[in-house]
Structure 1
Amino acid sequence: MTSKLLGARTLGALAALTVVALPAVGDAQSARSSSNQPIAFGADSGEQAADRISLRGRAEVTQGQNRLRADAITLYRNAAGDPERVEATGTVYFVTPTQSMRGDRAVYSLSNGELVVTGNVILNQGQNVLTGGRLSYNVNTDAATMSGAPRGGAAGSRVQGVFYPNGTN
């Protein structure tokens, strides 16, 4: 994927964010922690304030083998400057080595590794596909819970999926 990297001045200000943890699925239980891996940022534009960093236009945050991509990404920091939450809007993708999630909005809580994707959610794992209105996914445990869209929503109120048994193509 091609995206412009933020300017050196903005990127330097973002360097303090190397403590952000987007743990790699599967690596979370291993001795090797992705929280020690560098974080890469990319966007068409970006800005920084005391409590947040905003990325706009083909925004992307990667760490280890996980990637969060969206039209806009905002990383919120606490008073000490430590990252607390990442919010992504527009067409949102969260991709791990084994699965990908797509939705209209995502909120990632760094303290507990919980990613919540809402709005026309699609979860892919290999050929298996699950759709719904809200996905709660824990990057540390790989646990996922899908719920349907609210009644009257464009996607209806059902969770739907297609699963292929082992050996079936």
Structure 2
Amino acid sequence: MTFSARHAAVLPALLVAALGLGTPAGAQSFGNSFNGLQVKGDQPIAIDADQLDVDDKQRIATFSGNVEVAQGDTLLKTSKLMVYYAKPAGAGGETGGAAKPEPAKTGGGGALPGGSNQIEKLDAQGKLYVRSTDQVATADRGTFDMKTQIAVLTGNVVMSQGDNVARGDKLTIHMDTGIAQLGGSGRVKILMAPDQNGQNQAKR
């Protein structure tokens, strides 16, 4: 199933963890300086893209072309987003039980997997940009695993808040606790701006 026009889709709260970079993000390395980058479970998530392809057999929904995912103050941008979803409970001809919730609808009128299906993983391919309030994280790629509650951003990772900047090859975020680790094969670089009292705002 392919939707060629731009679409806006509202997904259930299952997608919240995909953007939930937690608090405090980067806690192990930066104290409390990067403590935003979070979303709220009571707000809808909207996905906008040039094209949406749904492979229900493989259970993959692929958004491509200027993909934007927004919820509240949090915005994620990438060139391609693959959403992996599980078979809904009660599928396969089973009868009885509670009625299944309606799937989310795209702007083109098609059913988007996620309303009645559980999202297992999201894979953001191409340059990844995440902004929440005054905090920004960028990387070459990002994977969000709903089962393990771990998000991994890789390749030229940059985290910034105001004049505070941290760079590394890999950012691992435990979405359930908010603990984040910045590292990788190369060296971690941190630029800390002094506060009004002349003290650094972030500490390693």
User: Does the 8 Å contact 2:144/2:150 carry over to 1?
Assistant: yes
- Give % identity: 27
Aligned pairs (5 A) from 1:70-85? 70-80=78-88, 81-85=117-121
User: Does the 8 Å contact 1:84/1:110 carry over to 2?
Assistant: yes
Q: Does 1:163 align with 2:203?
A: no
> Which residue identity is paired with 2:172?
S
Once the two structures are TM-superposed, the CA of residue 127 in structure 1 deviates from its matched residue by 1.1
- Cα deviation digits, residues 97-154 of structure 1 (max 9, x gap): 2421111110012345432100111111221111110011244544321113x3xxxx
- For this pair of structures, how many residues does the alignment match? 146
Normalised to the residue count of structure 2, the TM-score between the two structures is: 0.63
Name the counterpart of 2:126.
Answer: 90
- Cα deviation digits, residues 30-70 of structure 1 (max 9, x gap): xxx82231111111111112212111111111222222210
1:66 to 53, 57, 74: 74
Q: Kindly tell me: are residues 128 and 119 of structure 1, through their superposed partners in 2, closer, same or farther at Cα, counting changes over 3 Å?
A: same
Greater relative contact order (Cα < 8 A, sep 6+): 2
Name the counterpart of 2:47.
Answer: 41
1:137 to 169, 173, 189: 173
Unaligned 5+ segments in structure 1 are 27-32, 151-156
Unaligned 5+ segments in structure 2 are 24-38, 89-116
User: C-alpha distance in 1, partners of 2:171/2:54?
Assistant: 29
- Aligned-residue Cα RMSD (Å) equals 2.4
Q: 50-59 vs 138-147, which deviates more?
A: 138-147
Q: Kindly tell me: are residues 84 and 112 of structure 1, through their superposed partners in 2, closer, same or farther at Cα, counting changes over 3 Å?
A: same
Q: Does 1:104 align with 2:140?
A: yes
Normalised to the residue count of structure 1, the TM-score between the two structures is: 0.75
User: Does the 8 Å contact 2:21/2:173 carry over to 1?
Assistant: no
2:157 to 121, 135, 139: 121
User: Does the 8 Å contact 2:22/2:174 carry over to 1?
Assistant: no
User: Does the 8 Å contact 2:123/2:144 carry over to 1?
Assistant: yes
Larger Cα-atom Rg: 2
User: C-alpha distance in 1, partners of 2:176/2:162?
Assistant: 20
Secondary structure, counterpart of 1:36 in structure 2: coil
Name the counterpart of 1:29.
Answer: none
